[in-house]
Each structure stands twice: as structure tokens, then as C-alpha cells.
Amino acid sequence: MKNSETRNSSNNGNVIVHIVQHLAPGGLETLVLEMLRFAKAEDSVFVISLEGNKQTALNHWEKLADFEDQLHFLNKPSGLHLSTFKVLKAKLKQLNANIVHTHHIGPLLYGGTAARLNGIKTLIHTEHDAWHLNNKKAARLQSTLLKVLRPQVVADADFVADQITNKLGYQRVSTIHNGIDCEKFTDGNPQKAREFFALPTDKFIVGTAGRLETVKGQEILIKAFSHLPQNTHLAIAGCGSQRGILEAQVRTLGLEDRVTFLGLVSDMPRFYQSLNVFCLPSLQEGFPLSTLEAQACGVPCIASDVGAVKETLCPQIGALVEPNKVPMLADALSQQLSQTPQSPRAHILKHFDIRNMVNRYATLAQGENA
């Protein structure tokens, strides 16, 4: 962890500042923290969160403690606030940033503008999904920002890159797939993992992980799971506003003894290691990390064919299903019950290790900084 508040001129490293909307448990936010963890030793890397404050964020996400000295919060209220441009411009100057990396449209608006006002040459903007481009107002704003700020845009999937090029007509787009730490996410002992989470040791376990929100499709998965035989169990990791509704659904279907809600899980590798199959039933997705993590732990995946999910799956192992189709999902899960277990880990190691991702971003920044 680098504690320097300003650029260390003696090591010739960069000062890289990532700008995000908020810092709470999520795929984008987890990825940014991993980019801090695997940054080059000579670089100083920080994260600025537009919303929230440090203490509240630390209280709600223990993982942030490892990076506390690298985190800054602007506590921006909702809505457009011109004062945020001024505050952010001053913060970038204080940190002596020479590379600014924004994530999603709000951070591009504030962070990209502040970077250009400070004369920062290297501005990288990563798009983690393309949902917002279906909103005409958001698409117009994004198009304007790209034309004015001229960032090097990185899409985390070919699907997202195509959307940006086709819908916005912007050409400075490259694809760098998200990566995960394949040394952290690895295969382990399923029996011990199940004992840790108090899950049945003699059942076929289907697992899912994510925010408990309608868009994540857990309701669909529970319905599909209700069609599986008694020798199966469903483990749900995550928290969110729909937990009470999902628990009521489980009771209505008489599945109380076959479904476990684990809440927010800190040891995700162990969670994946407890599973026979991982399911991502989302109605919308960008380029999810959870499918990469599960496969790195040797667990096959069944997932909705939305967004760039297809790009995350090992082609030979696992399955894609149409979103919001209970019978199709139930059939895919049933087929997995009878298949000989195969591990997709080798595919993830080859294509999605985070070290390769960080190196590609570093190469991109070097080219922009030339």
C-alpha cells in the first residue's frame, strides 16, 4: 500500500487516480481495488469516490481497510453540483496526478473535466456496461463528453465496445477484459468449504452471488430451483433490498430446508469452492466478475445470455440460457446434475488473470503519456 499523498519524483512513477461514483461492494468497485493491489511498485495509485465519506464506507466494506490511505471521498450530494468540479480539480492537483482513470458516466463528467482543466494529458475512461446507452438523455451526454474530453475509452468486453462505437460513433475504443486474481480464486476442498458455511455436505449445491435486487434475477433462480430434486441445495450470497421478498418466496415454495441465505460473504473463494455449479440469473449484466471467480475456483457456470456474460464463460464447460426463462434455467441446472464434473479453471488462467489486465492498462497509459 502506498501512502504518499503526492508524486514521488525520485522513482519516476506515475500518480494514477481512479474516479468512481461510490465505494460499496460491487464488481466495478472490487475491480478498482484490485487495480490498486496489483499496481506497479513505482506508481502511486489512489481512488476518489464522488459520493460518500470514508468512515461510512469503511464501516460497510471491510475490504477497504487495506487501502485506507489511498482513498478519498468528496461526499457529493445527488444531482449536478458545480462545486464538485472545483473540489475535484483541487484534489487532483494536490495528488499531483498525471493519469486519471474514470469509471462510468458520472466520474467521466466530473473527473474528465477536472483532469482536462488541470492539463492532465492521459485520461482513460472504462465502460463496464452499456445499459445507459439505451437512455437517449444519457447517450447524448456521453456522446458530448467523449467529443469534448477525448479520453481513451476502454470497454471491458467486445459487446460494450461495439455498443459505444455503433451508438455513439466514437472510435478511440479498445477492449481490455476484466481480470481476477487467479492465485486468490483457486480450487479448494469442497467438504471443508461447506462445513464453514454450514451447508449440506451430501447435496448437489447450486450457488449464486450478487446484490439481492430484481435485476439480478434471484427470483427466477429460486423458481427454477424449485423444479430440481430433493438432493439439491441452493446457496445465495449477497445482500440487498429484495432479501425479505426472496425469503418469502422460498417459504411460499416450501424450500426453507433447501435454500440458505448467507448474506454478505467476505471469503468468496471459499464460497465458490463449496459449489457444484454457479448460476448467474441476471436480467442485465455488463462483464461480470462472479462468473470468472467461480470458474477460477474450478466451478462450471450457468448464466443468462445478457450483456457480455458470454465472453466470460469457458466455451466447453457450462451453459448460457435466455434471461427470465424459468423452464430453460431449470433444464440447464438439471442437465448439470447428470454431467461428469469438469473444471474451467485453465481457461480463466489463460485469458482472465488480473496481472495481464493491469499490464495492458499500463501499456495503454504509457502510449497515451508519450
Q: What pLDDT shows up at residue 300?
A: 97
Mean pLDDT of the chain: 94
Tens digit of pLDDT for each residue in 110-121? 999 999 999 999
**Residue 28 and residue 299: Cα distance in Å, rounded?**
22
Report the alpha-carbon distance of residue 238 to residue 266 in Å, rounded: 10
The answer to whether the CB of 142 falls within 8 A of the CB of 133 is yes
pLDDT at 370: 47
What's the total number of domains in the chain? 2
201 shares a domain with 174: no
Residue type, 323: P
Beta bridge mates, 172: none
Q: Is the pLDDT of residue 367 over 70?
A: yes
Nearest to 126 by CA among 365, 367, 370, 344: 365
Report which of 347, 186, 196 is spatially closest to residue 269, judged by C-alpha positions. 186
Residue 114: its pLDDT value, please?
98
Structure confidence by residue, pLDDT tens digits, 24-51: 988 889 989 999 999 999 999 999 999 9
Residue 184 has pLDDT above 90, yes or no: yes
pLDDT tops 90 at residue 351: yes
Q: Give pLDDT, residue 208.
A: 99
The answer to whether residues 195 and 78 belong to one domain is no
Give the CATH number for residue 358.
3.40.50.2000
Residue 236, CA distances (Å) to 58, 101, 260 in order: 24, 33, 6
Q: Is 344 exposed, middle or buried (0-12, 13-18, 19+ CB in 10 A)?
A: buried
Backbone angles phi, psi at 261, to 5 degrees: -95, 115
Domain range for residue 165? 15-179+353-369
* Phi, psi for 325 (deg, rounded to 5): -120, 95
Helix, strand, or coil (residue 78): coil
Together in a domain, 162 and 42: yes
In tens, the pLDDT along 276-319 reads 999 999 999 888 999 999 999 999 999 999 989 999 999 999 89
Q: Please indicate, yes or no, whether residues 339 and 364 belong to a single structural domain of this protein.
A: no
> Within this chain, do residues 123 and 259 fall inside the same structural domain, yes or no?
no
pLDDT at 10: 43
145 plus 287 within the same structural domain: no
- At 25 the pLDDT is 86
CA distance 31 to 307: 18
